[in-house]
A and B are shown apart, each in its own frame.
Chain A
């Protein structure tokens, strides 16, 4: 294993500096800005750890979507800031929290320093079974075949989160448009970018999904880019978020999990187990699931970002 370079040391210093800012900043909005910077720097760490698939996901979801979501919330919650200052805990509690946090961090650091050597790994097993799926990207192999159950359940979690957010709607607004209607200067930069970027972004999103079979990328990363393009158009006020009672919305939201479960049950009938793909059809089946998943991820993420219904469908 290589010795850490000056670049990596500097990267860690900057990441931790931004992390401290995120916790210590006085203004919530400033803290969120710190978090966005943190989320955009973290992918560099992931690249240095040779995990480009994770770097793409972290950058798109951890830095991009979470950042926009939290910035929006911070802006709306700004009136509550002055009251919150009075709720700051006393010195004793803060000291106790600092001692506890330092202890946890020290224990984890000790765990890192005394990790077993040689490290346990499943990489040889993943390499040995790669031929069963016909995909070249080992991470996609794990996500879509070796641990497909995790990925399927994760789709269900996304759906549950959206159901949770929607169920916060007041009764008379059920079926209405989520979130506030965004307004932007129709001749401003945002509206200009919202017209310029989506054609490019949609191609990039589909490309990232498609190359995920053999190279870093995949359904999550591609779907997130597609969701980001939709969000950009919504935030520029060029289009409104659809009312949650809209007819075509529900089929798109459940397409991913449903196709996944159907293929899984097919494995029970034809193959040996739930989610067992017949070897001859493994790649087409995985691609079918991924197409449905990409669509579902893009729509679900876009609607999760838009939030709970706040306006009735008629307006």
Chain B
């Protein structure tokens, strides 16, 4: 089995693990974490496809590699926004649950809302 294939299988397992964590872990932060794991698996696929496309003296196809770099930055932007939303939710309600029937608590919202 070639190295690229082994890393490809690694990517498949990472996506599976991420998906499982996304569904099962109740904490929103854990879901963000699992989603990042899932995403990194998808990026790794691009890396494997790029490596297999090595030609013209390059170690890999530069097009998928460039797409992954853009993808990593976009994934980070989304993660940062998600974390900011989560921290604001915690500030406003003093809890970080995603349950619709969560008991309302006093909260420590500086707006007093």
Contact = CB atoms under 8 A, between A and B. Distances in A.
A154 B17 CA distance: 27
A73 B86 contact: yes
Greatest chain A CB density within 10 A among B44, B66, B83 is at B66
A42 B43 CA distance: 11
A50 B74 contact: no
B29 A54 contact: no
A108 B69 contact: no
Contact of A49 (B4, B9, B83, B99): B4
B45 to A, nearest CB: 7
A85 B61 CA distance: 45
Contacts, number: 310
Contact of A22 (B21, B49, B58): B21
Contacts of B76: 61-62, 65-66, 301, 304
Given A102-B16, A112-B8, A170-B111, A49 B84 contact: no
A97 B24 contact: yes
Contacts of B57: 127
B37 A158 contact: no
Given A28-B29, A161-B78, A143 B69 contact: yes
Contacts of B5: 4, 112-113
Interface string B18-55: 11110111110110111011001001110111111111
Given A80-B90, A165-B80, A123 B23 contact: no
A200 interface: no
Interface string A82-93: 011001110001
A154 B84 contact: no
Nearest to B78: A161
A242 to B, nearest CB: 17
Interface string B66-97: 11111011111111110111111011000111
B63 A142 contact: yes
B3 interface: yes
Contact of B27 (A84, A105, A138, A150): A84
A22 B13 CA distance: 13
Given A16-B17, A142-B66, A147-B63, 10 more contacts: A8-B7, A54-B65, A62-B72, A77-B29, A101-B16, A105-B16, A105-B17, A147-B66, A157-B77, A218-B69
Chain A to chain B: the 6 pairs with minimum beta-carbon distance, closest first: A105-B16, A50-B59, A121-B53, A112-B8, A161-B77, A87-B26
